[in-house]
Amino acid sequence: MNRVRWAAWGVVDIEKLERMQRRNYIKAVRVELAAKNITLDCGGSTASPYYAITLPTTDGKTTPKHTAAGEGAFKKVCAWLLEQLGEEAHERSEDGSVRSA
């Protein structure tokens, strides 16, 4: 989940990466999410990207899903995912500063 945190915090901005770097980053994020049965769907163009994250549920009836499009969309869906999983969106670094998603 480190790549998801980095994107949510703004450490990595995939919109500024080269085409192959962006594809490899998204591929690595999908591998991390697949371990938790979470799907990441991508679409659109580089000018107007679209991302959707779907979470698994135990009852099989409802599926939490979050979508975002446009500038900063990947950061938005990653921040939402951290919030839904209850993982720390705010963490302290070695120097004591707080990072926020």
Mean of pLDDT over the chain: 84
Classify domain 2-87 by CATH number. 3.30.160
Q: Kindly report whether the global pTM for this prediction surpasses the value 0.75.
A: yes
* Helical residues (DSSP H) of the chain, grouped into ranges: 2-9, 19-34, 73-85
What are 92's strand-pairing partners? Answer: 98
- Tens-digit pLDDT profile for residues 43-79: 988 888 999 999 887 776 667 788 898 889 999 999 9
pLDDT band at 28 (very low <50, low <70, confident <90, very high): very high
